[in-house]
Amino acid sequence: MMLKTIILIGGPMKGTRFRPLSLEIPKPLFPVAGFPIIHHHVEAAAQVEGMKEVILIGFYQPNDSLNRFITQAQQQFKIQIRYLQEYTALGTAGGIYHFRDQILAGNPDYFFVMNADVCGDFPLKEMLKFHTSKPTGTFCTILGTEATRQQSLTYGCIVENKDTNEIMHYVEKPETFISTTINCGIYLCSPSIFTPLEIEFKKNLEQNYNDDEPAFGCDYNAAPAKEVIRMEQDIFIPLASSGKLYVYITTQFWSQIKSGGAAIYANRHYLDLYHKSHPERLAQNAAGQPKIIGDVFIHPSAQVHPTAVLGPNATIGKNCVLGEGVRVRDSVVLEGAVLQDHCCILDSIIGWNSQVGCWTRIEGTPNDPNPNKPFAKIEANPTFTNDGKLNPSITVIGSDVQVPSEVIILNSIVLPNKELSGCYKNQIIL
């Protein structure tokens, strides 16, 4: 069997809720548990037998960080990886249709489609087994999971035939409750999916021609690209009940990564998955070594003083330096950051090459899912409350920020290249 995987990485205008971290590198390359988000996707894909190629589709300009990622991942997973750049944002299916010849080259039997802004313990092999057991002519299997009734409204909702797992009804972000089964943004497609894609594409084209009567004052630049196809609204909704769309439901870890807070949540779960997949990546307690509580990843090049205490859920990036008595919990410390003696980092992300002074406290407020609510997902809180105050969130320190000694930075977001001079609470610092 010959397989391919497409990872939809989006583009620079996307991922705004991930700012300021996505100002520095494309969000799909943000490291979670020590590796770029899509590294985990590629790893899951590479483990499926017959996987020949991973194609990244997006609308980022080719850049160093993406090239470096591709080179590194190709070597590590011994698989071909290519980046295909859309000329503009084509929607979640438009890019796939646009690059159909590339995708279909070599006649793959099936191909996975993975959105880059999700994370999880992806059951790709199980999906493949499930998909191949369905009648020939099946277009697509969607990975689904359970959500709470309330949270389901912010996802694509799926109603299935419980006996056959056929999708009977699909609706994207409904206003009223439809189903607690939600779309995980991971699909397994048969090449025949290009049939409905082509129909949709041509329909769009026709419509655009008909609409394109030269209306006076029409803004041509703002007109949507004719090739935009949205997988969910344009393909899944009409295909529901056609017998060609199935859902495979997982109970394993899955989450969206929209905000910085979600990255810390994802970090915790990927570290947990390492117990099974990469136990060697988890730091161990040893004499003369920093104290480790729970799951911690420390990049081999990081220098951590033996009196430091890390974890649970801490990731220390490449070339970081952590001084005496530094405490890091539920946080991600990115490459090149320096944490000086006795500082305390809780529920925060410390940006690349930032410096935190002695006895400084950097603290955020986690917005993890309610552990007492089955199937609860991370809340997508708006940045501001109704009365205009900043919603408490994790603290994010952008790259190359200098935080002085003995201050507290609480529930704040600091944009890159700042030299802070005092304490900040519940603020965005431009």
- Residues at the contact surface with another protein, assessed by CB under 8 A: 307, 309, 324-325, 327, 329, 341-342, 344, 346, 358-359, 361, 363, 406, 408, 410, 425
Instruction: Considering the complex, state which of residue 27 and residue 342 has its C-beta at the smaller distance from another protein.
Output: 342
Residue 323: Cβ within 10 Å count:
18
Report, in Å, the least distance between residue 421 CB and another protein. 17
- Closest to 322 (Cα-Cα) out of 307, 385, 415: 307
* Nearest distance in Å: CB 402, another protein: 19
Decide whether 48 or 328 has the Cβ nearer to another protein.
Answer: 328
Secondary structure letter of residue 153 according to DSSP: T
Edge-first strand order for the sheet with 303-304 is 303-304, 321-322, 338-339, 355-356, 402-403
348-371 CB burial, b ≥16 within 10 A, e <16: bbbbbbbbbbbebbbbbbbbbbee
Q: How far apart are CA 80 and CA 265, in angstroms?
A: 30
Question: From the CB of 327, what's the least distance to another protein, in Å?
Answer: 5
What minimum distance in Å lies between the beta carbon of 148 and another protein?
26
Cβ closer to another protein: 243 or 325? 325
Per the CB < 8 A criterion, the answer to whether 40 and 281 are in contact is no
Q: Judged by CB, which is closer to another protein: 272, or 341?
A: 341
Q: In angstroms, give the least distance from the CB of 324 to another protein.
A: 6
Cα 170 to Cα 69, 118, 127, 241, distances in angstroms:
35, 20, 19, 9
CB of 294 to another protein, least distance (A): 14
**Which residues share a beta bridge with 166?**
246
Beta carbon nearer to another protein, 334 or 346: 346
Residue closer to another protein, measured from CB, 48 or 264: 264
Coil vs helix vs strand at 408: strand
